[in-house]
Structures are given as C-alpha cells and as structure tokens.
Structure 1
Amino acid sequence: MRGLLAIKNNSMFVKLLLSMTAIALITVVLISSVTYMISADNSVRNSIGYNESVLTQQQELIQKELTTIRNAANSLLMAQSYLYQTIGGKLSVSSLIDLSTLVEEQKKLSPYIDSIYLYYAPLELVLTSRPEIKTSPILSFADRSWLDTLNQDSGSRTVWLTGRPNGFSPDHPATSLLQKMPLIGHVEGAIVINLNLNRLFADYLSHYKSKKGTIMVIGPQGELLYSDAPDGETLLQQMDTEQVTTDSGYYIGDSDQIVTYTTSNMTGWRFVDITERSVLLQGMNRIKIIVWTVAILYITAAVAISYYVSRRLYRPLQSVISYIVNSEESERRDKSGAPSSTDEAGFIRHSFEQMTRNRDILMKEKRKVDELLTGNRTAIKEKYLNDLIQGNGREEPASGPDHAAELLGLKLDFSRFAILTLELEEHDPKKGSEDIFHSHLLQYGLMEELGEDIDGEIFVKDSRHTVILLSLHPDADDTFPIEQARSLKLYFLSRYGISVTIAVSRVHSGEPSVRAAYNETQEALNMKIYIGKGEILPFSILDEWKSEEGSYYYPYELEMKLQQSLLQTDKEECTAVIRAITREVLEQRLGRANIHQLYVQLSGELVKTLVQTGGEVTVVFGESSSYTDALARAETVQDMEECVLTMCSTIIDYHREKRSKMTDVTLQLATEYMDDHFNKNISVDSVAEHVKRSTSYLGRIFKESKGMTVNDYLIQLRIKRAIELLKQTDTSVEEICREIGYANVSYFNKIFKARTGLTPGQFRQQQAAEQRLAQGKGPKTS
C-alpha cells in the first residue's frame, strides 16, 4: 500500500517533469528555427539596404557630374548668344574664332565630356571640339543622328540621348546631352555634349562594387549602358521589368535574384544591383551549426533545470493537497519526507523580496524618465508644436483631453487664436554656422523673454522663423493680433536693433484650424517681395496685392533707355530708368516668377551690352557670377533693384576707367608717331589712321591734353627742325623745305614767317649778322 502510494505520488512529479521538458524542447527548437530564419532574413535585408545605399550614393555622385555638364551647356548657351554675329548671312570670322575657342574651353570643364557640337540651323553649320574636324555643313556632318530628336517637339529644352548611332564610331553608340536653342537670343539650333560614359562609370562605379552582386546602369529605353560583369546582357534579359514600377526599390525574382534599383530623376537612367540569394546564404552554414550546437546545450540544460524546478514546485503542491485532505495524512507525508512549513515560508519570503526589488527598479526607471522629460522639455515642446502647425496632431478626437499638452505645460486655447510668424532679416546664410548659432541663441532668448508676456505659446520653427500661437480673449477685437505684431516689431528694433518681418493670420477657432492659420502666414510672407522687409503682413494684404500669374510683362522700351544710358555712362539716368522699371513692376502687380525673370533678363541684357562694347565680364564682375548670386538671394523687389543698380554702377565705372586709359595710350602713340615722322609728308588723317581713331576724336583729346591742334603740333615740330638746320648748316631753303616734310617752298616761307616773323632767308641773314657781330666783339672784350 505504501509503495503504490509512492508511485501514485511520483506519477504527478513525472508528468510535471515530462511536461516541462517537452515545453523546453519545443521552445528551443522553435527558437533555433526562428533564429536561423531571422538571421537569413536579416542577411537579405542588410544586403538590400547596403545595395540601396550604394546605388543611391553612386547615382548622386554621377548625377552631380551630369549636373556640372548640364550647367556647362547652359553657360555655353548664354555665352554663344553674345558671341554670335553674322555678316552677309554667314558667320563672321571673329565669331567663328571666338565660338570655336569657347567650345574648346567648355570641353575642358569636365573630363567626362568627349566632344561638343554647336549647331546653328539658319547657317546649317556645325562647330565641334573634335581635333579632326572643327566646322562642317550639317548635310555632310558624319554624326547627325541627334537631328531627329532636335526636330521633335518635346516638353523640355534639355534632352538626354542614349544609345544613338555614332557617326564617327559606328561600333560604339553615343550618349549625349542635347540643349535646344534659343534660350537667350533668337538663333535656332542646338548644343550637343557627347559624354565619355566609360570613364564616368569607371571612376565612380568601380570604387563601390558590392562584394557579391553585379552593378548595371540601364538607359530610359531599357538599353544597357554599363555592367561590371561580362554577362550583363543576359542578366538584363532575365530582369522582370513589370516589377520595376517606382523610382527606387527592390524585388526578389523567381530565380531567387535580389534586384535593387534606383532611378535618376534628371536622366531617367536606372542603377541596378543583382545579387543571388543563394550566394548570400552560403555563409549561413556556419551559423546553422552554431545555432544547433547552442540548441543542444540549451536542451540539456533545460532538462536539468526542469528536473530541479519540478521537484521545487511539487513539494509546495504536495503540502497543499495534504492540508486539504486531512491533517493526519499530512503528518504521515511529513514523516515520509514532505516539506515542512518553513519551505513554504521561505518561498513566500523569497517572492516578497523579489517584488520589493522589482518595485525599487521601477521607481528608479521612473525617476530617469522624469529627469529626461524635464531636461528636454523645450525640444519636446518644439516638436509637438511643429507637428501641430503641420497638421500632424494627436490621433484621439480633438474634443478629448490633450494629455501631452498638459504634461508639457502648454498654454493652448483653441477657442479663438491667431498665428504670428516672425522672420528675422539680419540672418545671413553666407556667414556660416556661427551666425546660425547666434541666430538660434537669439530666438531661444526671445522665447524666455516673451514666453511669460504672451498669452499663448512661442517656439522656433527654423533658423529664421519663430512662430507665436496667440490665444485671444473672447472679448478681444480681431485687430488685436496686428497690434501685438506692431509691439513685437518695436521691441525688436529698440532692444536688439534687428529688423523683423511679421506675418499675421486671421482669427481662427478649433484645433484643426491651426494648420490653415499657419499656411496663411506663409502666404502673407510671400508678399514681402512687394512690400519689403521689416513690415507687418496681415493675411488681408493678399487681396490688395493680387497678381496675374498667367500674363507676362517686360519693359522693352525702358530696357532700351537703360542701355543708352549705360553706353553714355550716365549713372543718374540709369538710376532713374531702373526706378521707373521698379515702379512698373509694383503698379502692374507682377507675379513672383515674372519679377525674378524680368530682373534676371535685365541683368543679362546689361552683361550683353558690356560684351558688345568690348568689356570682359570676368574683369568687371570677377571670376564668380556675383551678380547672379545676389539676384538669386534677393527676397524683395527693392533687393533686385539694388542688384541691378550696382551692376550699372560697376559697368559705368569700368567704361570710364577704360576710356581714360585709352585716351592716354592714344595721345602717346600719336605724339611718338609725329616726333618720328614729322619730316615726312604726313597729315592729321595719317596720324589718326596710325592710332586707329577717328580724326575728330583724335583732334578733341589732343586739344584737351596739349592745348593745341594736331596740325599745330606738326607745324611746331617742323619749324623747330628748320630753325636748327638754318642755324647749323648752309643747306638751301629748298632742301630744308623738303627735309622737314614740305613740298612747296612758298608755303614753307609763309608758315615760317607766320611763326617767327621772318622768312627763312631773313632768319639766316639775321643769324649770320649776329654771329659776325659776336665775333667782332670778341677781341675788344679780351
């Protein structure tokens, strides 16, 4: 009976042991399998992520080079319009030389430019940078497969051509950038820049090869542009193009090929990486062995732990059952080895101590969270308010309590509110990170100063913009936000000396309207281009400054006046004309794009006038296009006007200095020529021809500088030489006349007498008499 009872009791222990062992075994097997699957999946995903990052980096680097080439095409497009001149329906020799030189120089801008074609449709002429052919009629030009694309009506004036037939190398298709003309000017034609793809891809793609994949570049029409594997065409045919539907992404093909791709928005080229899944999983065999080894160890340990835990669990359970059945049987089981009450107390005490330790850990973690929230309250507050104005508010209904706002201590009342967006005008991005740092310090200082005085919340949107969510009292007037903006503007000027533009929304109600109110301030800030900096811009100002974006205006008559004033180097007239253009812009309420295009085109015409008058752009404005950068940074019409005024002043100063230098050189050349050739039959016309100036211009500057005419100067030189000959030689008057450049003796006598009061003969006689007299006096004095 005692043995049967022991077996019965032990059967429960065995069941418990087997159950826990089975659970441990199943758990370990599942964990091992899942671990291997997760490792394999992570390996694939890591490969995809690595391939995506590499492809994106490669695509961005190559696109940067292609952008440089496209900018070179735009620069060539603008420069050729200033150099293009025809004579009798043909390209002038000077233009041909300048344009050929320009094409050669543009080719040197990038090592990935193979050659450049400059095609003029009216002349049916092609200028190239190829060493074997510089110019050619289009009908006999070997490489003209791009003409079909040029004649097609496309939506863009810039077209990237891939796989087109190459007339100079039929076995190697060409890849080109086609830039249609005109952009500036009126001459139809095109600029074709042929790319050296082999060198471009070799420089960039060969340095970023994945360890196990194949990298390819595919053109817009599906043609293979590059592959780092010899079987690139085969891989291209195996690709499932139907799954490549987005600009970037990946898919796993039926043959377990992992295809990662990204597409260039500029050229339409697709960068593809193809990696075999089996190759990636080859390295997983070692992981599989490790996982199963660890699993076996875990199973062994689990069996031992299960045995120990089962016995520990079984003893309290046995005590409980014994207590429920009868106390006598419990006593017998105590004698046969059942646990005493101290075991249960120890178990309870151990559990209580564990709970106490867990509570201490939780309280410690709670204090860490509180400290983290307190230290980063400002940043969390900015994130919350930025999400609010962007429409990314809380997910629960707006009518419910906003626990996040309460936790952050925000003063938000959406019953009536308005938004003020402040834009600091003193910030200059050219000053670098230091100025941005100071700007942020100022903004956060303002948050501290104004936070207590403003009924609402103030936070920093970015380095130039600070946003105020202003709560309005139910009895407050709708003009209260504008009055608050005026006070803030005066505060900035008086305390910091900083000009600030403040946009004010209309009065709104309800949390969902926050985004709309913020958008109103952004629309009002766009009106700064008309109003100027440092002003109050309420949303109602949009009705006063509505513009017709569809219509285009350009002041051609005022442009002609400006060019005339520029040629006459009249700064006052230039200033008056530019001011008149600005008035027209403001009166006609032109759109932003029209205004910017107007001033850019106007600056281009000023540069064109400078070039046409013989000026050099780099000499006047420097190597970098400072005036274009200034126009691009201009935020208001007044800024753009100031840029154009500065350009005019710079060009006029250049012309004045150039004319002054030209006058000094001309006078020096004319004087030297007359000093060396006065004894020849030269005239004012021959002197003017020698210095390459008109007779009137030479006479005017000579009179202003010497105080006499050119002819008077010639006569002075000849009379001076005649006097020397009359004094020092016995040469006849006729010979002296010919010696000093006169052919008529009577005319020489007339001119000599007009200058000296005596004829040449009388002058010689007078000199001889004075000499004899001087000789006769000599002995007397001695």
Structure 2
Amino acid sequence: MKELLTNRFALNGLFVKLMLSFLSVILILASFNLFSHLYLSNKVYQEMVRQNELGLAQTVEGYENHFRLTQNMILALTQSDTWTANLGILSHLKDNRRYDIPAEVKADLSTLYTNPFLHIDNFILYFKQEDYVLEKEGISSATDMFGKYYYSEAYSPDYWKSQTMNNQFLKVMPAAAFTEKTVHSSRSLGELMPVMMKAIPYEDVYGIVMLNPQRMQDTYGDGSHNPFYILDSEGRLLFTTTEEELHNPPLPMDGSRHERIGDQYYFYEKGKQTGFTYVRVTQASVIAAEMRGMQLLLTVLLGAAILISVLSSLLFSLRLNQPLQHLIAALDRNSGSGVDKLSRVKEFAMIGDRLSSILENNRFIQSDLAQKNSLVRQFAYTHKVKNIPLSSHLADLEEVRQPEHPYVAILFKVGFKDRPDELEQHTLLLWKLIQSLFTSNPNNSVALQPEQDQLLLLLFDPGPQSGILQALDTLKELLAAEECLYLTIAVSPVYSGDIPFTDAYGNLSTLLNERRLNGETQVIVEPRASSSSSFHVKVTYGEELHDLLQSGKEEAVFAWLDRQLDQLRHKDAAAEDFRTFALGAVEQVSKTVMKLNLTSIEGGLHSSPSGDPFAGFYSIEQYRTWLQSQIQPIISAISSQLETKDPVISFVLDYLNHHYGEDINLNLVADKLKLTPGYLSSVFKEKTNINFSEYLNNLRVERAKELLVNVDLRIQDIAMQVGYQNVNSFIRMFKRRYGLTPGEYRKRHAGDDPFISSNHG
C-alpha cells in the first residue's frame, strides 16, 4: 500500500505536476475575485438602492397623478346642473318614461371612458332603487350587468347591492378578473379595478368606474418584470403584477424606505394624495446586473488575471507537448508493435506500454463496424427522410451521408385494384423486384419504406436521368401482366448533396398527387403545366347543384354529376382532382341537407369504415357509383318532403330564399299572402318548428358564412348583401349562431372549401 501511494503521488508524477500548475491559476483567480467583491460590494449596493428608489418614485408620481386626474374629471362631470337633473329623472325612469335622457347621460359618460389617458374600460351608473344600470352599451338590469357582462367572483350582483358610500365620495376597490358570459361563449375582459363614487345628491345612485390597471402599469411602470403591489391605507391589496403573495414586515406609515429580506429587496413609497402604499420587489442579482458602469474596474482586473493565467497555462502546456507528440506519432503508425518510451513522466510511460493492445482492439472494432455498416446506414437515412432527430447517444449517425455526393430520389406507391388476402407478402415481393433493378451497388444506393404502401430509393452518383427512366420502362413492362396492382412512380431530378432528403421526399410526395385516374403504372417526372392545373367547382356550380337537389329530380342531379366528371376527364385532371371534386360535392349536399332541415340523414354522408372512401378508386365509374350512392337517399327524402309540402310555407320559404338580402319582415310577407301577420306567424311556427325571424336570421348568416371565405369582400359589404343594414346587428347575429365573429370565422375558414374556390375552372 505504501509503495502504491508513493508511485501515485511521486514528485515526477503527472497528477502532482498538473495539480501544482492549476492550483497556481486557481489561486490567482480566487485572489482577484475576493478583492473585487470587497471593493465593489458597497458601491453596487448604494447605486442599486438609489436607482430603484428613483424608479419607484416616478411610478408612484404617475399613479398619483392618474388618480387625481380621474377624480377631477368625475367631479367636473357631477357638478353640472344638467347632470344632476338627468340623474334625478333616471332615478324614476319607470315612472316618468323619459327614455331620451339615457342618450344624453351616455354622451356625458363617453367623455370619460373614451379618453385614452384615463384608461377607463367603462363607466357604469348603478340606480340601486330602480335596480338597473346605464353604461356605454345602454341600459340593462343590474343582475345581467354584474352576472353576465361584467361577471366576477369577487363582485357579484349581491355585493353591489350591499355597498354604501357613507361619507366617502370615491372608494377604490381591489382589482379582480372580469368575464363577459353569453349563451354560447365566455370572453375574458381581463383584470379591472372598480372605483365607486357617490352621485351627489342622490343616495341610491352610484357610479362605478372600471379602471384598467394593466394599462396603467404599462404607462407608469418601469418596464421591468419585477413584482409590483398597490395597497390601500388599511393595508389591503388593490393591485399586483404577480401571483406571489407579499410577505414583508409592517408597511411604513409615511415617507419611503427599503430593506433586504433574503435575496430580495423591498422598496416602499406612500402616495401623498391617496394614502396608498406602493411596493416593488427586486431580486438582488437582477439589480446587480444593471450596474454595468460600475464594472469597468472589474473588466480591467479580469483582463490582467486572464493574461497571467494564459501565460502560466502556456508554460505548463509546453512541458506536456513533447510526450503528447510521441503519442500522436505512435497512433499515426497504427502499429501494434512496441512503442518507444514517451517521457520520464510515469503516467506517459504506462500509456506507451498499453498502446499496442489498444491499437489491436481498434482494428477489431473497425472490422465489426464495417460488417454492420449497412444496417447503420438504413437506420440513419430513414430518420433523415422522416426528419426524426436521433437520440443523443446516436448523434454521430447524423453525418452518415457525404454531402458532396449528388443523388436521385425515386418514390414508389403501390395501389391494388383487388385487395389480395396476403397484402404484405405481395408488397414485399414487389419491393424486392424493384431493389433488384436499381440497387446493384449497395454502397451507392439506399432503399427505405417511409409508409406501408411506399418505397423510397436514394441513388448516389446516379449518372443521367435518362438511364433511370429506361430502367423504369422495363419495370412497367414487367408489371403490365399484373392486373391486380399498379404503381405510381415519382422521379426527382439529380440533386446536389446540399438538398436535404426531407425536401426531396416532400417534393416526390407532391408529385404523387399528379397521378391520372386509371389502373395503369405511371411514371411522373415533373408537375403538370399551369394550363392543366387542378380543377375545382365554382360557387355558381354549387348553387346549381343545390337547386337540382331541391327540385328532387334524381335524373337531373345524376346527369349534372356525369357532366362534371366528364369535364374533369376532358381536362386530363389528376386523381386527386377527382377526389377534391367528390368531397366538394358531398359538402354542398350537406349544406342542402342542413338548409332543408333533413337532420335524419345528415349523419350518413361521407362515411367510410376505412376513413378514406377513395383509397382504392382508379376509375371514373367508381366515383360515379359512390356519389350516386351518397346522394340518392337525400333526393328520395327531398322528393318525399315535396309531396307533403304546405303551399303557404312553400311560398314563404321560396320568397325568403330569393329575397333574404332585401328589407323584408313578417308583415310584408303576410301582406303578399293576404293573411294577418299573427296567423302567418303561428302557421310558420307550426309547420317548421322555428320562428319566422329566427329562420330569416339563420338563412342570412348561413349565406354570409359562404361569402366570408372570399377575402376580397368586406364584412360591411357582406352584411348589406345578406340584408343587414347595421353591421353590428350582423356581427351579433353571426356570433350568436356560430360562437365566432365574422372576422374570426374568416381567419379560420377562408379558402378551406373546395366548392367555393374559383382559382381554376
């Protein structure tokens, strides 16, 4: 044991020499850090306190001025004789029925909440005796206002009913989260700070000013993310920018002060007018980081220490350079024979003794890795094509491809006319045939299977593309005798090594969509020209299909579908275009079903056990049969409905469908039928299970939904086009129907409906 310790800690041992060298560097850096800390700590602390106290004082001044300005504006409003008289009338509105007064009072209130410098969200006049409120949107009950439009758990309708002002003129209340709740949605109004005022001389009339504390903080705050608190004269929390609770000693009675508790500094300032206490909490590390000007001396001292450390390290490195050069020379020879003595350092001598066995083990490892190279390349290329990151311990495989090698990518997709019983076995035999034609040199080619029905070949240094196309022609001849399957083959140009495999695979996947609708093997090299680009049914054709469906004539509908399919065939449309047309047709049929209230069959449209009903389609006849099977039940239901349709209701529905964009109402339609409005309303409700006005509004917003996908139309123009003279009424009706505003719906759905696209025809 004693001999072992003597060898390990000998004076000429590598461990001792390295320890002595780096201990010298550590000693220099430790001395520098100690001196810097002692010299600068006091200065940093003083500057830190001064800047934060100044910043808090400016913030407090802004808040105090804002509260004073708000109070003065409210006082100026309440001292008006007209204001006082109007409040007296509104206090007995149910008796005097002076409904012209609320508009005048709203105009007075707008001078406050429209002032951008006051940050007022709303000014609510609460008539406690009459139990209603007046605010910027108009008159509503107190229960609706505080239970729906300004709902907060902290401020319920009962809370406001129980409030009294006593001798106070203004009372600032803690900020809380408010929400607007409607039948179909709930919208957050953010955090608001209520300020309650007495409407002198009326004891039962109060003004409730909803201040936006977050906008006040953005205006008067210092822009930092430090926690900030406002407390009233009783120590109650009015507003905070953080969810953390304030844990601090008793707040100061006057003036300002600061103190440090743990790793945090607490800065206090008391408002002279409001008596509120403002508190800012700052991390000590954050404050110290702001003192850049105080660190100039630190930079100079650090530079001197680094220079000394570099010189010392250079000296130590020179002492180790010679034996390391001997090691490098021995590794370059890559020989397992004996290695010369490297150094008088004992550890280097031991390395020399072991080097021969290490080189021998290295040759064995290289041989083993060469045998597994094919599997490694397959694994790495699959991850590159699918853009899947490798785990950290396999990061070396990211460099498996040599970027300077050009390559060609070929993507094969198999389709079956008649799905065989042993699908996987048929597919595997097909992939083996393809690989035998293209992967004669395993070092210059890789075969991957990104999807179950796809095979991707990467051919490196492939030569001209014409040779590849010739081999693909041979493959087509071999598959010509196979009647149960066909291939879609997408061929890329010769890419440079800088093009990622992921991009090549994405381009080939796009080329697959260029396949024509037939059961033959196709080779696709480039996309179609613009003259033969994809076909979509225009909106006018959608309306034509709707009219044909509504007529209930099966022959006419099927003839229309045949014309559209023939048109796609004459345009040399791709198989994907047929799929898009079929989906668009079913979408239009669904809209017709909804408009005609055929809810019993609406859920049966576009259903397929496999998820994609067109996966095995390769002919127009298959699309024709499928579309007829989808539409035939709808036509039967419409025909049955037509046989039992009431003539009065038929006239009303037809009139509304053709005149919904005009200024029409129940009285107008009843006059055309020579009926009383009351009788027509009851008959319409009995036959359709829906009110006349509700049906008209649903019809208008349904038509507006179709027009909204056209981003060239303004929302105001759409509202006028569907019969709304007031755009606000249109927005309200649309949101009540769909839970979204027209603008929100346009952002989500514009351009999504293939039946409305008219980019190509």
Query: TM over 0.5: same fold?
Result: no
Higher relative contact order (CA 8 A, sep 6+): 2
TM range (shorter): 0.3 to 0.5
Scaled by the length of structure 2, what TM-score is found? 0.34
Scaled by the length of structure 1, what TM-score is found? 0.33
Structure with the largest fraction of helix:
1
